[in-house]
A and B are shown apart, each in its own frame.
Chain A
Amino acid sequence: MKKTLIVAEFEFLQTAKRWQFLAVTLFLPLFIVFISFLSYKSGTFATNSLQEKFEKGQKIAIIDESDFFKFSKDDYFVKVKDETQVKQDFLNEKYIGLLKIPKDYMKTGVVELISQKNQVLGSSKSFKKITESFVRKQLLEAIQDEQQRKRIFNSVQFKLLIIDKKLNINNFDFHQMIVPLLFLVIFILSTSTASTFLLQSVSEEKENRTVEILLSTVNDNQLIGGKVLGLGFATLIQVLIWVLMSLVAIPALSAQMKIPIQLSLIPISHVVFGVVVLFLGFLFFAAAMIGVGAIASNYKDAQQLSSFFIIGSMLPIYVLQIILNDIHGTLSQVLYYFPITSPIVLVSRFCLGNLPLWEVIAGPLFLLVCVIVAVMLAAKSFRLGCLMYNRRPSFKEFVQHLF
């Protein structure tokens, strides 16, 4: 155990001193928050900027070739007839935008947005929204009833409600989403950075030939255990920093984005389950990276081999919508028990899925079994591959070595 701790201490210090580790730990979450905030703000800014122009009396000019639209008085749009003049005016920025409704509009539904080279109006969501509203409004002029017009005109408003086992229907609690979302970000960031460092550590020891002297000093288990422990500790510190950052960022962002979040309302069972799965998921990926690092002929090769695990772990993100829409469906079930994808799906289903108890136990238990198998395979791969310099063992050699 003493040697394992010495290896762990060395691995931890070597990792923690790397600028990449410090950068990922301190700046990546800030960067993510900054980008999210910027994206939110830029949407608001674009709307405000358009609104300012309207307030100054500028309008969007419309050339209507279809002659269908009635054009009652509108705050935003003005119908123009002299096409040449309006084009010139548009270039002189008299108008915010220029729309052309072709003759066959009723047949095709196409409205032409004319932009200046340096101002692509089609990319502005606010502009599109206003234009769509205007076009719909024109189409609905035929309907007399104001209430009906409003209902058709406005998009459908959804209110999320949840039914419980006692058939009570309650408002959807956004706090249910906090742990899955936070877990997703933390898991992806922590496993990808820890995996990279672990992969580097093993493949570098192989590449720089340190592994042989290590194996004459410690045994496989001490070496692998020390690496996982050392990097695990570094990851733990990283996660703690991120959680602390989240505790500060979530209330601030919720206030800014007008989403009412109270940290005290996050279910504690979600947090406990998330921590357990994060630990198991980390161990699984650590074992996988040790195995890959030992088998690969160099770090580049190791990176290629590990991409299966890294991309695989992100698969649930791509199909998250499908999983959330059908949390008990076949895809959710399959990914729940597939070790590479299971950590994210486990937490999502547990927090949002109202799972039966046996599934709550079976998921992490199965992941634990996968972790044990992965650690055993990693140890075998390590023994086989660590002294194969500049080449990787063939599949036949690998299978022979296993049995």
Chain B
Amino acid sequence: MKAIEVNNFSKKFGDFQAVSDLSFHVDPGEIFGFLGRNGAGKTTTIRSLLRIYQPDTGDLLIQNQIFGDHLKNDIGYLPEERGLYTRAKVIDTIMYFARLKGLSRSTASQRASELLELMQLTEHSNKTIQSLSSGMQQKVQIIISIIHKPKLLILDEPFRGLDPINRQIIYDTLKGLKSEGYTILFSSHQIAEIEEFSDRVIMIADGKSRAYGSIQDIKMQFEPRFIQLNYHGKLPHLETVEELNDYGNRAEIKFKENTSPQLILKQLIEADVLVEKFEITRPSLNQIFIQLCGEATS
């Protein structure tokens, strides 16, 4: 049984086609990255999955079922548009959501203490939400989404707006959840986050799927047309190069289709460039993302 299954999902707002014929699935226990630029359709898909929006067409299933009251306690959700009751105390807010997720008062209290400690918020538990920094508020929201140990965790842009220290705390928490076997779907437009955590990813642009699978599989779909070069000397003009990023003694070269990288190596040697490293690679996820999103936009 799949943790999440989306088949041929489309959603329109007025004349704007937000998502078009999107299909993917998430396996139990995997961390699945949902990658796309702002406005690509990630949040619309997540909201439709949770029936906050009604899909126009397609099936969106969680544990083989349409999301409803019977699944609400199995899900932890961190929305992209997030906020909390500003005048309420941290502990009251956490207890409220924990109890709504089906925990008893005593279990909720115990879990709240554990997670507040994990997130280094224990001393702030009796403060009002509005007195916390935005990073602390975000950590409270993460606590709310995981306090009931959900089978499936859906995190929409979980690292957005965090400083490096708080980001590291959330990183460590998610790593812990991964090792405990949680199924996590998380969306982001930050490649590094997706690459670090995800077992598999889907990359969407303009509401359409552009790449889908494990990061390795996606990279394999692209020709090895990149050269990682470490060198000394002056780079000559290279006719067969489509794109060159020169960082002094290091360069990234993208060569033209149907040309041989050997030809480039020969030209470098003829120009008396001392080559220390010459590695032919496939594009990075970042390069793939830029290429696909660029194509979609154009």
A interface list, Cβ under 8 A from B: 3, 6-7, 10, 13-14, 204-205, 207-210, 212-219, 387, 389
Contact = CB atoms under 8 A, between A and B. Distances in A.
Interface residues of B, number: 27
Given A212-B79, A217-B77, A217-B101, 5 more contacts: A13-B92, A14-B87, A209-B82, A387-B47, A389-B81
A216 B83 contact: no
B189 interface: no
A7 B100 contact: yes
Nearest to A387: B52
Which 7 A-B residue pairings sit nearest by Cβ, starting from the closest?
A209-B83, A208-B83, A212-B79, A216-B77, A209-B81, A217-B100, A10-B96
A213 B52 contact: no
Interface in B58-87: 69, 72, 75, 77-79, 81-87
Contacts of A207: 83
5 contacts: A6-B100, A7-B100, A216-B77, A216-B79, A218-B100
B50 interface: yes
B99 to A, nearest CB: 5
Nearest to A214: B100
B212 interface: no
Given A3-B100, A7-B100, A10-B96, A216 B84 contact: no
B82 A216 contact: no
A216 B100 contact: no
Contacts of B99: 6
Contacts of B83: 207-210
Contacts of A389: 81
Nearest to A201: B85
A92 B238 CA distance: 111
B101 A210 contact: no
Interface core residue of A213, A215, A218 (most chain B CB under 10 Å): A213
Contacts of B85: 14, 204-205, 208, 210
A215 B100 contact: no
Contact of A208 (B53, B77, B86, B145): B86
Nearest to A222: B69
B271 interface: no
B97 interface: yes
A216 B97 contact: no
Contacts of B53: 387
Given A14-B85, A208-B86, A216 B144 contact: no
B69 A213 contact: no
Contact of B79 (A205, A213, A219): A213
A216 B75 contact: yes
Given A216-B50, A218-B72, A6 B96 contact: yes
A6 B99 CA distance: 7
B280 interface: no
A10 B96 CA distance: 7
Contacts of A7: 100
A204 B83 CA distance: 10
Nearest to B145: A213
Nearest to A18: B87
Contacts of B97: 213, 217
Given A215-B52, A387-B52, A208 B100 contact: no
